[in-house]
Homo-oligomer: A and B are copies of this chain.
């Protein structure tokens, strides 16, 4: 090689090195590997001014955001530094195509990660959009273990809407009691309900009234900077894409920014035919992108507010500051925060649900017919004195050996091999009254779906154990998106109501609300080999049995990694 070529190749090498190392945040057309090193541990945090043992990632709650491009591979090296507690993290909205063992659902797709262990999650984010991650083990999510995932379009591609800046905001509700104590109450006789949360957090910050705590303790400190309100700083005239996700343990929320309209453009990773709202209703497990233009008087700040709806909650609204630059981000707006909609005004929530349609030109068309319809009656029950939630009178619990491993390795004894029912007594069951016989079966049985078939699920809400009461349940499906074919009030009529399904422009989502005394119909293709949870995203409801599991094409699943094992029937040696 002559000197010139040598030099040239050195320069080329250095240039490549520069691009790879210095500019790795910048666009690149090819899929990349994005590596994260996370340590999960307890920290004493005061997100709402009240000091609480919080599960953090690298010292933070919410944890670090994952930002990637479509097709990238995410590698999270997760060290569990809890002392005696296991952990598992679910990548909410990521379908885990070809990697069903990376779904992070304890008992379904993996054994829990033991203290001091490091588990490597590795999966592809195959689709742009706004997603979440959170603990999927016991009720650890509500201890603070959650964060956001933002998957951008490939370089050169563009969204069908315009904005200047992109921001992620997670909403949450916050309890002062430990998850251990809350879990204990839910699984005790007499039943002790978790009750309403103490605070609503906007991106990990809220404000608890410290006066209600005894002054002898130093547990609560209103001037702690950790609970200074979150500031969404905006430049006057600019348009912001706010990616709003909710990971509440319990609460349905209405989010608004005082004096500003929001245009909804994305839901759970899919483009929405844009519509304008003043309040965005958001249920646990959902994500929305809204566009907000900083078009108001720039000499002041504005309140951003999150209010509990669908429950008669005494929890004060969560408040953040919509901060017009260069005003000080801590300067309170001169106004009283907006009170938000009335908690039991269902109409606007239904209206929003109906309004969410796929953006023309971005529709993934649904199959026109389904191969199987499963109607799932959601009831509150009492089994052996324990308060539970059930689907078609089956209250879910997890087996010792995760389903994915049990199915793949034919460990038939690991769980009940009978399938739960595809419906309930449509004729006689009265959804408007408490269950006449609140008894249910507690079972770990699963639904086996024929691979590549089309499945309709109709979630049928009903009255709880209390008269004239029906709750809102956001149901989340792992491993898939589904088309939202329709909503209705009252009892779903298989013959009639399915004729009215929206097959024209249904949105695709991974989480959808079932409104009080109503039904929600969804359709999906059972085309992702694996075992997938489908459950109410209210932490305590799933804990109390409100979920099911689907198996599809498990024979097509590749070899399972030994790292997901160690529980149930999987205690033994492996040869790496």
Interface residues of A (CB under 8 A from B): 41-44, 53, 82-87, 111-112, 114-117, 137-140, 178-181, 183-184, 212-217, 398, 400, 409, 562-574
Contact = CB atoms under 8 A, between A and B. Distances in A.
A464 B179 CA distance: 37
Contact of A216 (B42, B44, B213): B213
A36 B409 CA distance: 33
Nearest to A561: B571
B562 A138 contact: no
A44 B398 CA distance: 25
Nearest to A52: B181
Contacts of A112: 84, 114-115
A52 to B, nearest CB: 10
A44 B184 contact: yes
How many copies of this chain does the complex contain? 2
A84 B181 CA distance: 12
A86 B86 contact: yes
A400 to B, nearest CB: 6
B85 A84 contact: yes
Nearest to A185: B44
Contact of A213 (B86, B214, B569): B214
A84 B573 contact: no
A562 B567 contact: no
B570 A183 contact: no
Contacts of A179: 83-84
Give the 3 A-B CB pairs with smallest separation, nearest first. A214-B214, A572-B574, A566-B571
A428 B178 CA distance: 50
Contacts of A43: 184
Contacts of A84: 85-87, 112, 137-138, 140, 179-180
Contacts of A140: 84
Contacts of A85: 84-86, 180
Nearest to A82: B180
A565 B571 contact: yes
A24 B114 CA distance: 41
A482 B515 CA distance: 69
A109 to B, nearest CB: 15
Given A84-B112, A569-B574, A184 B214 contact: no
Given A212-B216, A213-B216, A139 B567 contact: no
A183 B83 CA distance: 7
B83 A138 contact: yes
A115 B86 contact: yes
B567 A573 contact: no
Contact of A44 (B87, B181, B214): B181
A197 B86 CA distance: 28
Q: Taking each of A566, A568, A571, A573, which has the highest tally of chain B beta carbons within 10 Å of its own beta carbon?
A: A571
A197 B44 CA distance: 20
A117 B409 CA distance: 20
Given A566-B570, A570-B566, A53 B114 contact: no
A53 B571 contact: no
15 contacts: A42-B180, A44-B181, A44-B184, A83-B139, A84-B86, A84-B140, A111-B114, A214-B216, A409-B573, A562-B571, A566-B566, A571-B571, A571-B574, A572-B572, A572-B573
Nearest to A81: B187
Given A42-B180, A84-B140, A179-B83, A566 B567 contact: yes
Nearest to A137: B84
B42 A184 contact: yes
Given A85-B85, A572-B562, A184 B217 contact: no
A53 B180 CA distance: 8
A273 to B, nearest CB: 42
A139 B82 CA distance: 12
A567 B569 CA distance: 13
Nearest to A139: B83
Given A83-B138, A85-B84, A212-B216, A53 B181 contact: yes
